[in-house]
Copies of this chain bind each other. A is one copy, B any other.
Amino acid sequence: MTYCLAVQVKSGLIFVSDSRTNAGVDQVSTFSKMHTFGREGDRQLALLSAGNLATTQGVVAQLQRDIRSNADENLFTVADMNEAGDYIGRLSREQQSKVTGGGATFEASFILGGQVGSEAPGVLRIYPEGNHICATDETPYLQIGESKYGKPILDRIVAPSTSLEQAALCALVSMDSTIRSNVTVGPPIEVLVYRRDTLAAGDYLKLDNDSAYLRDLKRSWEEGLREAFMKLPPINWASAKDRAADSRNIVSL
């Protein structure tokens, strides 16, 4: 399994990915799921991947080959994020169609984010079928893989006006919640920030399991949650309805 997400706020983009892959519970490995492609002053792109590892590695290899061979279409020639999404979707379908058999699935999903020239930065989710959707102000983040555990905190915190720093922290907490609840999502955690209109490689962090920062973050977050609980309005049990009044559901003798 995998958990990757990208957040799109006014001041830029945040990318976070885990690094665990597994084929059954006794074949667990570590692979980076974050790949970047950039040309200073022209464009910066980050690609996060989930799904069949052979497919995602095949797609990334082809993306790199197309750049090196100056193919007519490559990530340095596409005109905008939308065209980049279509191109990666096509490569993904081609990669999947190379293999068949055994009822196995070779599907892969991607998140592509970045900025091309003077276009606004964008984040896309590319489906196994090759099509894609874009993040918007109403839905300022996209996820792939094991997305449910880490979703509530994003829904409660992230908005277009959120600062890049807060968006990065929220994405990290979302990742930590997921790692805690699903053993097939695991460190190192990679974090990348892209600052809008810089067209320069952003800051990048790789947080291992024994990262002191990650430990501090978890401790601080759990303390903060406990404090938040202490401040919640107490339940007014005195206002509790007489359960007998709701007699449909009660049996007592």
- Which one of A79-87, A95-103, A236-244 is at the B interface? A236-244
Is A30 in the interface zone, CB < 8 Å from B?
no
Cα A79 to Cα B203 with chains together (Å): 63
Of B63, B173, B241, B253, the contact of A205 (CB 8 Å cutoff): B241
Number of copies: 2
- Closest B residue to A224 using CB positions: B228
Is A137 in the interface zone, CB < 8 Å from B?
no
B-side contacts of A227, CB under 8 Å:
224, 227-228
- Closest B residue to A244 using CB positions: B201
> Residues of A with Cβ closer than 8 Å to B?
32, 34-40, 63-64, 67, 75-76, 148-153, 155-157, 165-166, 168-170, 172-173, 177-178, 180-181, 191, 193, 201, 203-206, 213, 216-217, 220-229, 231-237, 239-241, 243, 246, 248-253
